[in-house]
Structure 1
Amino acid sequence: MTGLPPLNGLRAFDVAGRRLSFRAAADELGVTQGAVAQQIRQLEAHLGTTLFDRLPKGLALTSAGRTYHDGVAGAFSDLRSATAQLKPEPGKVLISVTPTFASKWLIPNLPDFSNKHPDVDLRILATEKVSSFHSDGIDLAVRQGTPPFGAALSATLLFKQDVVAVIAPRLLEGVQLPVGSDLLSSVPKIHDTHDLWPKVLAELGVCDQSRRGLRLSQTALAVDAAISAQGVALVSRFLVTNDIAAGNLVEIGRSSTAGTQDFYLLTQRRPGANAAVETVVSWLISQADQQGHVPQ
């Protein structure tokens, strides 16, 4: 071990460099914030260089710190992979999805998967961040975007982008469908991070005359706000199929392909895939196909 820095310091640096916060790193490592800060100081002293710029609201890696963190993070990832190969968990599959996809489609469909494949332990990582197959240990991912996603990944189309405007039924009392441009213009708009309203309204030739709007960070929150009669939301049709069928929402107007970023299932291009992973892949594709969202 001659020449290596203290391993505890390297571990603290790996986590702190990923989280850019001593407090967050301490929470993940199960130690105190002071302990993480001390380990980083000792590592910097050992290396004779500063790894972090200490800012009023967090941390920033220095140029040397970024380069070193790439190597350290890769080394820990290799250790995790080697350990996982020695301790395989047959039947376990970790899928990374956005919180909206998890809450509005995957979780409502899980009973079907559990009934058909009780031997598969499907675990869900719901995050807005783009997860890494290598460092985060995920087996599958569902992401909205446009191929290609990288030479190491295979992409399978699950759902075409088909954006619809949805609203709570009680906001349509006395209104006949399809709604006129006057109502669509005046009703409050619910926005999410995709911010599709300007393009959709331009397609329809409608000027937004609503007095207020609601801005939310996730599409799932926009759907919930629409259900609670906060206004009209734009969302991919497949995410609100259940709420429309249950009478919680009503689709108004024609659909749009605004955004044109479809939903893809991402897998690694590697031989000898886990049988449980293949089971989940087949189920996801089958469900999407049965629900009529993937063109035949």
Structure 2
Amino acid sequence: MTEKLHLPPVNALKAFDVAGRHLNFRAAAEELGVSQGAVAQQIRGLEAHLALKLFDRHSKGLAFTAEGRGYHQQVSAAFAMLQEATLRLAPTPSKVTISVTPTFAAKWLIPNLPNLTALHPEIDLRVLATDSVLSFHGDGIDLAIRQGAPPFGAAIDARLLFHSDIVAIAAPTFVQGRDLPLAAHAFGELPLLQDMHDLWPAFLRDVLGVRDWVGKNRLSFSQTSLSIDAALAGQGIALASRFLVEQDFLAGRLVEVAGGSFNGGRDFHLLAQKNATRRQAVTAVMEWLLGKSEVQS
């Protein structure tokens, strides 16, 4: 059985990486802050450990051997990966990571981001769009926006951002020629666009007074943003929180087709770690979000 080769010392690999970039021991020593002799000694030790010659020495500097050139490419790549991984862990004053639901990201956050970047061009905002429950500390998250009702946990500071005021929406062309708001029976004749929240039965019961409704034409989507897009494309009637489609109402891309709304019981909240020391950039994003909120504190 071939004896396993132990990894060389990290200092020797670092000296090899730097010397290989400069092809000069003196320049490598200046970058590392050590003596030229120390770099040469590290390289000799590495060559002895590997039982390979890595450099040919010349009066004007160094040249790679064939083995040295291939090894340097891999060692250099490994150090670059380590540096990138370390930089990702290190918090920077201007970096803010926010976790939001995909629908909130697509229908509210992204359209409003130009305002944030205009106010705070120095902030490096990183958006994670997911419905999963993530860990503030473990996943490196500064802020989160989620639907639900407090409490979210003893260690979580929750601020109400938007009420879940659910309205029925459709493209104007889809309901062209029909009187608005639509009569209750129309909802049994037209395609209804469903998402994972399954709010149609409650909406029909609480808003339209229909208790024994049996839908025949339903299209189902995994995200509310997809059902909104389908409504925009004229494929049916969708349900959505009013604030998510307000700009579509103003632009005439969507219209409200029912004579009322209801609260789905899943309001949108801004979440942060309680009692955590917040960097200035995180506080700025929190204040911006709360300033955009239609909810009076």
TM-score, L = length of structure 1? 0.67
Distance 1:121 1:209, change over 3 A: same
Q: Identify which of 89, 94, 113 aligns with 1:91.
A: 94
Residue aligning to 2:195? 192
Could you say which residue in structure 2 is the equivalent of 1:161? 164
Shift of 1:137: 0.5
Distance 1:108 1:258 in 2: 24
Shift of residue 141, structure 1, vs aligned partner:
0.1
Secondary structure at 2:259 match in 1: strand
Query: Contact 1:196/1:258 (CA < 8 Å) preserved in 2?
Result: no
Mapping of residues 1-296 of structure 1, within 5 Å: 87-203=90-206, 204-206=208-210, 208=213, 210-288=215-293, 293-295=294-296
Secondary structure of 1:254's aligned partner: coil
Which runs of 5 or more residues in structure 2 are unaligned?
1-85
Contact preservation (8 Å) 1:162, 1:255: no
Q: How far apart are the structure 2 equivalents of 1:177 and 1:196?
A: 21
Aligned-residue offset at 1:144 = 0.1
C-alpha deviation, 1:182, in angstroms:
2.3
Does the C-alpha gap of structure 1 residues 244 and 86 become closer, same or farther in structure 2, counting only changes over 3 Å?
Answer: closer
Contact residue 186 and residue 209 of structure 1 kept, 8 A: no
Structure 2 distance, partners of 1:209, 1:168, is 23
The CA deviation at 1:178 is 1.8
The one-letter amino acid of 1:183's match is: A
State the SS of the aligned residue for 1:171.
coil
Quickly say closer, same or farther: Cα 1:247–1:86, change in 2 above 3 A: closer
Deviations 1:231-264 (A, max 9, x none): 1001100111111111111111134334211100
Q: Count matched residues.
A: 210
- Helix, strand or coil for the counterpart of 1:157? strand
Decide whether the 8 Å contact of 1:200 with 1:258 is kept in 2: no
**DSSP-derived class of the 1:111 partner:** helix
Show structure 1 runs of 5+ residues with no match: 1-82
Pair member with larger Rg:
2
* Alpha-carbon RMSD: 1.8
Secondary structure at 1:141's aligned position in 2? strand
In 2, the alpha carbon distance for the partners of 1:91 and 1:255 equals 43
Distance in 2, Cα, partners of 1:230 & 1:85 = 43
Contact 1:186 1:208 in 2 (8 A): no
